[in-house]
A and B are shown apart, each in its own frame.
Chain A
Amino acid sequence: MTTYVLRRLMLMLPVAFLVTIGVFMLIHLSPGDPALILLGEDRTPQAIAQIHEQLGLDKPLYVQYFIWLGRIAHGDWGRSVTTHEPVAQAITERLPATLELGIVALVWSLLVAIPLGTIAAVRRGSLTDQVATGITVAGVSIPNFFIGIVLIFVLSVTLRLFPFGGYVPLTTDPWESLRHVLLPAIALGTAGAAINMRFTRSSMIEVLNHDYIRTARAKGASWRRVVFVHALKNALIPVVTIVGLQIGGIIEGAVVTETVFTWPGVGRLAVESIFNRDYTVIQGIVLLAAFSYMVANLLVDLVYGWLDPRISYA
């Protein structure tokens, strides 16, 4: 098991290396002097010279890269151009809001996807199944920001059931926090719900054709028991992959949803930073997004082994 993890990490290294190069090149891809980009409005000649010195811009590009990489590795992710706050700190402050949103969205998507996907599989070909499949395609087609806007209009503006936008930390008031997070979480989680439902359905259909399902029936297990005890655990194994990737992609989805719901998370920070041309913050967020995605991939593989006893890590 340990050797397996190590081997996986070794395989991840070259990819991680390329990813950091990509993030580093972000500044150098954009036209103009990186110092000017990094400084934003504050462009005194002294400041420019200082940045040049700091980044080693007079040195070759690969040297600059290693200087930058060294800093990143030591937790020095630079400072925001606009607020002068350390980037790592700016991101960490915003992270809890994003995580709360992402986790509630994931829970919502699974609450919808697993029962519906299972029902669609058990009654495949039926009207229920056809409607469910239609909804699946619609779920990935409607932009999540538009779902958010419709939810705000119907539930918040018209029916006044939910507050519009804003974030209440879980630690301050759990109930209010939940009330605020619900609409953005539904908006964010709907596409995931559609994808997860599709996976659950096709996986469940395959599992229900296996011989061991007949064995369970021959034991006198009811259909409900066969589906929810014997089939579901097998059927969810592939679903775990996609859910793992969704956990890794929380920041991605949050970018838009947080903008719609004025949710003070990492995603909104990313958008604000783009408009402020705050490249150090953008770099930090892109790097974090890529790495959480890669780590999620690794974790998915490990969880697989726990769910499916046939897989060994020898």
Chain B
Amino acid sequence: MSNAPAIVIAEEPIRRAPVAFVELVRTHRRVTVGVLLVALLFLIALLSPVISPHDPLATDPDNSYLRPLSPGHLLGSDELGRDLLSRVLWGARVSLPVAFVAVAVGLVGGGLIGLTSGYAGGLVDLLLMRLMDALLAFPGLILAIAIVAALGPGLRNAMIAIGIVAVPVYARLVRAVVLQLKEMEFVVATRSLGANPARLIVAHFIPNLLNPIIVQVSLSAGFAMLAEATLSFLGLGAQLPTPDWGQMISSGASFLTNDPWLAIVPGAAISITVYSFNLLGDSLRDALDPRLRS
């Protein structure tokens, strides 16, 4: 019953050379929409200090609880008179970096484990994979909550926790690809020519890994933002007065009867953001996986 996107690890790696990305975006309409939405979100995060009409933290008790479309406050203001539009725009500066860091933690950690495991094999492989199984034995959000409970609430610890949740997914993905590639002829050929392992990885493994990883990164970015919003909603992530969407929904929920937009506006923001990343990941998976083509 979690919000985690169904992560399907392809049984066989997508062996084609990385598809020219531009061509992909041009020919697949859903990919185009996904790329545009994600690009727009990055733009908002980047430009929010410039485009925000107000300081997201500036309180103005005389102008609290303003309805949307009030003069000077397009989306209204919250209980402390802070401009809702500015806070939502600044929220992108919290959400996107969190996703970025969490995915990086998962990708680097899981990638290293997967490469080691797949390339070394034997006992190392066995031990690492049991460890990954143990991590996967915890439902994702429970694991994140447990880690935050141990490390203490806060945005930084939330990022680490979400990253750790993603580690086994990447470890398995990378290991599966490495194992299959190891058996392929060109690897055998390169090795018999005396190429060293590091070169092997850089020259051959990385390109073959790219397609499945691009898909997984956009999907787990969506999951990371969702998890961060959830942790912040519970009070375990971003702390006051950070303009964080999950945290804004949590405080806005108290005013649902009279001022519902205080929860609905940031809720829409996080939903649209996660949707954009999931759409991108989902459409890329459809476009890159030759088996799914009709």
Contacts and interface: CB of A to CB of B under 8 A. Distances in A.
B219 to A, nearest CB: 9
Interface in A107-151: 109, 137-138, 140-146, 149-150
Interface string A139-167: 01111111001101100010000000000
A274 B149 contact: yes
* Size class of the B contact interface (CB-based, 8 Å): 35 or more
Interface string B236-279: 10000000001001000100110010011001001100110011
A145 B150 contact: no
Contacts of B151: 29-30
B1 A252 contact: yes
User: At the interface, is chain A mostly helix, strand, loop or mixed?
Assistant: helix
Given A18-B134, A150-B267, A293 B139 contact: yes
Nearest to A139: B3
Contacts of B149: 26, 30, 274, 279, 282
A137 B267 contact: no
Interface residues of A, number: 62
B229 interface: yes
B222 interface: yes
Interface stretch (B86-94, B140-148, B190-198): B140-148
B1 A26 contact: no
Contact of A143 (B131, B134, B137, B270): B270
B48 to A, nearest CB: 21
A246 interface: yes
30 contacts: A15-B130, A18-B130, A22-B134, A23-B146, A26-B146, A30-B150, A102-B1, A138-B275, A140-B4, A140-B5, A143-B226, A143-B229, A143-B267, A143-B271, A143-B274, A145-B249, A188-B1, A192-B1, A195-B6, A198-B6, A199-B6, A242-B6, A252-B1, A252-B141, A255-B141, A255-B234, A256-B234, A259-B233, A286-B138, A290-B139
Interface of A: 14-16, 18-19, 22-23, 26-27, 29-31, 102, 105-106, 109, 137-138, 140-146, 149-150, 152-153, 157, 188-189, 191-192, 195, 198-199, 242, 246, 248-256, 259-260, 270-271, 274-275, 279, 282, 285-286, 289-290, 293-294
